Homo-oligomer: A and B are copies of this chain.
Amino acid sequence: MARPRVVIIGGGFGGLATAMGLRRADVDITLIDRRNHHLFQPLLYQVATASLAPSDIAEPIRGILSRQANVTVRMGTADRIEVEAREVVLADGARVPYDKLVVAAGVSHSYFGHDDWAEHAPGLKTIGDALEIRQRVLRAFEAAEWCDDAAERAALTTFVVVGAGPTGVELAGALAEIALRTLRRDFRRIDTTQARIILLEGGPAVLPPYPDSLRLKAKAQLESLGVEVRLDTLVTDIDAQGVTAGGTRIEARTVLWAAGVEAAKVGSTMGAPTSRAGQVKVAADLSVPGHPDVFVIGDLAHLEQNGKPVPGVAQAALQMGHFASDAIQADLAGRPRGAFRYRDKGNMATIGRSRAVMDAMGLKLSGFPAWAAWVVVHLLFLVTFRNRILVFTKWAWAWATWERASRLVWQGEEGPASRATNAADASLRKSG
């Protein structure tokens, strides 16, 4: 009898945990991802804000799984799932049949129906996004240095972050530190410490999932860095010149989006009920109702427990991945699957150097202790030992010097090679 074919869509925390959980299973696994790397997304904002290099927080998926002989990696985009035929169809037309399917395709930004905002306010989900944000921020200061118009100069040095969840808070804090400290000596004609960082939040507080006391502390820590925090402020328009929010116009040439997410499109191709954000509503065993051989896990899954949805965080994706691999092995052994239980191990968010909040293990911490715990936890969870060494070295150096070593802009370079890149990109888009 042929070995059961397990197909996993997505090489994030959920997909990798599933694959690794099946390392001793007598199955043939195909892991499909449109990128060739796993990304440690909790540190992506540090690539965007020039502290880390992409390779510090990303690992080739093939490398991670190279010694697991029952996995074959396929770089490609899953376009749709045909649940009756039991096949995944890739964007290039190839069909990948499965006996068990685990969909861990994640989420991307949602502009709440305003897709035209995307080009003016990039979000932060991929390395490409992070490098785009990095170059916009650095180019804005470059342009301001040589701008003779005071109003334009002010708009160039005004940075708006939309959304005060963990990503928005981390971005705003890092931008403030860049302006206040990192770039302070680098310019001659502008004073970077006069840059404005504005954090807009539609709700009544920063960091919605945290207890009230920590929300207030996080806000105070942001304000101590000079960030203007505007709560209960809904964004109604974004264009190339700025933002309209709460009825007020803000002239800002750089706007970053950390507000909404929407589910990967492939999740909606199974005909299963979805949440408002497009997540697939899964049963207690994380399977799609009516299709017990299809699991949806991670950010793409919608599951309520104790009246609240399981949050879209790395620890939930990891736990779901472990559960899915156990459930597949239970099926193969003829055992019952049981039901998934999310264990919340707590939350932590960093705001800047020695500034953070933490709500975990019964402790509510803020300031330096929370920041130190954040550093330790994030170093421990980086995928490989090598990256732990490198990131630790970079953080220690940055802490001592306030330097951000990755302040590089290389997009939009001229010359034959950049023409070649565009040609290659165009042909990839055409073929894919």
Contact = CB atoms under 8 A, between A and B. Distances in A.
Contacts of A36: 138, 142, 407-409
A122 B35 contact: no
A224 interface: no
Contact of A123 (B35, B111, B409, B417): B417
A84 interface: no
Given A128-B421, A397-B386, A407-B36, A109 B416 contact: yes
Contacts of A119: 416, 419-420, 423-424
A183 B63 CA distance: 8
Contacts of A77: 414
Interface stretch (A186-194, A226-234, A366-374): A186-194
Given A53-B55, A66-B185, A390-B394, A37 B417 contact: no
A34 interface: yes
A54 to B, nearest CB: 6
Interface stretch (A67-75, A285-293, A296-304, A334-342): A67-75
Q: Which of A67, A108, A393, A417 has the most CB of B within 10 A?
A: A417
Given A146-B94, A411-B425, A420 B58 contact: no
Given A129-B417, A416-B118, A386 B411 contact: no
B403 A55 contact: no
A405 interface: yes
A56 B394 CA distance: 11
Interface string A163-195: 000000000000000000001011111000000
Contacts of A63: 186, 403, 407
A127 B408 contact: yes
A412 interface: yes
Interface in A378-426: 386-387, 389-390, 393-394, 397, 403, 405-421, 423-425
A130 B201 CA distance: 40
Contact of A122 (B59, B69, B417): B417
Contacts of A129: 417
Given A119-B423, A142-B75, A410 B66 contact: no
A95 interface: no
Given A53-B55, A118-B420, A428 B412 contact: yes
Which 5 residue pairs of A and B lie closest in terms of their CB atoms, listed nearest first? A118-B416, A53-B53, A62-B186, A129-B417, A55-B406
21 contacts: A35-B409, A36-B408, A53-B56, A54-B410, A55-B408, A59-B405, A63-B403, A67-B185, A72-B188, A73-B145, A75-B409, A77-B414, A108-B416, A109-B417, A118-B416, A119-B424, A122-B421, A123-B417, A129-B417, A132-B421, A390-B390
Given A123-B416, A132-B417, 7 more contacts: A36-B409, A94-B146, A109-B415, A109-B416, A118-B417, A119-B424, A386-B397
Interface of A: 34-37, 53-56, 58-60, 62-63, 66-67, 69, 72-77, 94, 108-109, 111, 115, 118-120, 122-123, 125-129, 131-132, 135-136, 138-139, 142, 145-146, 183, 185-189, 386-387, 389-390, 393-394, 397, 403, 405-421, 423-425, 428-429
